Structure 1
Amino acid sequence: MSGVMAVASAVLRALEALDVGGAADKISLIPQDFFAELCEQIVQHLNHKIPGVNIAELCQRITTSGTEIGVGDLAKIANIVSFLFSTAARNNLSTEELVTTLGNAGSALPKHALQVIRHVWNEQGKSISVSEDAGNMATVGQFVDIKWKLGVAMSSDTCRSLKYPYVTVTLTVADPSGQLTDKTFEMTIPQFKNFFRQFKEMAAVLETV
């Protein structure tokens, strides 16, 4: 049990840094089924089964259900849960040890959240494998998807009729915590052709590896 106490101490310090007390109030507002879905997606991300958690999409669904919560608040909650699960996995905590750790850490998580964490960890906790140096991984995003569409600019503040073509590109990226974000930008046709040429060059280099 001393090992559990040591983990609890580390969890307490980290939770304080993440302001879990403020997040607990937000967690209490999230319906249990949505919180369970968030936890399950985080476990799948830690198991490398999905590239990340689509916080914006989940937040929209929660709001549509009648619960007001901001994307930033939901992202903070996701970070806390991800930290708890990855810490528990690194220390091979059982379900009871995880619950005891949260209690010793004084996490102040609402009852329904603790019930969900207990259930998810009991069902899927053993499947998570987190390396010891996971915390030292480079803080860069992971490319997930790319979409593009062709458009034509018809007018602007300075010119009534432009009629020049442009390409809108949307990149979906998973940040280090597993949250999915979209980055959208526009390019002229020459810029897009250069963009495409660089991708072909990268592909040619990769074929030689």
Structure 2
Amino acid sequence: MPAAEDCHGVNKVVDNISRFSPDLLADACQHILSYLQGQTRGVDSAEISDSVQRAGVRLDNEALQNVIRFLLLTFRSAGQSNSSADDLVSRLEEGSSKWPKASLQVLHRLWSEHGASVHAQQKLQATLSISQVVEPSGQICQKSFEMTVPQFQNFHKQFKEMAAVMETV
């Protein structure tokens, strides 16, 4: 019965997300999206935790980490598959019927604004095989790489495309 357990786990995370106000959810998602767009070196879960506590939402550390991981994986997956905001929301609704409409609206708006940039960053990372983490804690390990001239020219072209996409956001 792993599927039922997975569904229960998703519903539990969604229940915890539903305790967030739209502004608090947007703030947490902004941290995650900044990371996925390559603007920060990691997700600052301590800062998200402080915001959640200041907002009066009581979650234990494990529950909050599950929320952060769920949002991170959701956005990362949507970026890799180049999903539209409508597709993202549809997949979330398929995964759980417990989503509050206000939460889905926040996720739809943020993905509409940042999805293209996340997708471009995902493509770049796949090309370079970088931004890998060693542990779920988010400890980042450094990678170096070598490229042939044609590979570098392709990298340069993709980097310019990513910069153009980021300018439109």
TM-score category (smaller protein): 0.5 to 0.7
**Which amino acid is the alignment partner of residue 139 of structure 2?**
D
* Deviation of 1:42 (Å): 0.8
Q: Is contact 1:20–1:107 with CA below 8 Å preserved after alignment?
A: no
Show the 5 A alignment for 1:65-104.
Answer: 65-104=55-94
Residues 90-130 of structure 1 deviation map (CA, whole Å, 9 limit, x = unaligned):
11111112122222333633222211110100111111132
Q: Which has the higher strand share?
A: 1
1:175 to 130, 139, 152: 139
Residues 54-101 of structure 1 deviation map (CA, whole Å, 9 limit, x = unaligned):
212221232133221222211111111111111111111111121222
Which structure ranks higher in relative contact order (CA pairs < 8 Å, sequence separation ≥ 6)?
2
Residues 14-57 of structure 1 deviation map (CA, whole Å, 9 limit, x = unaligned):
x9279211111111112221110111111110111011222122
Which residue is equivalent to 2:16?
A: 26
Show the 5 A alignment for 1:1-209.
Answer: 16=6, 19-106=9-96, 108-128=98-118, 129-131=121-123, 139-140=133-134, 174-175=138-139
Larger radius of gyration: 1
Q: How many residues align?
A: 132
Segments of 4+ moved more than 4 angstroms: 131-135
Identity %: 25
Q: Which has the higher helix share?
A: 2
Q: Is contact 1:35–1:113 with CA below 8 Å preserved after alignment?
A: yes
**Which amino acid is the alignment partner of residue 130 of structure 1?**
Q
* Deviation of 1:138 (Å): 5.3
Residues 136-195 of structure 1 deviation map (CA, whole Å, 9 limit, x = unaligned):
x85415xxxxxxxxxxxxxxxxxxxxxxxxxxxxxxx8436xxxxxxxxxxxxxxxxxxx
Q: Any gaps of 5 or more consecutive residues in structure 2?
A: 141-169
Q: Any gaps of 5 or more consecutive residues in structure 1?
A: 1-12, 142-172, 177-209
State the TM-score, normalized to the length of structure 2: 0.65
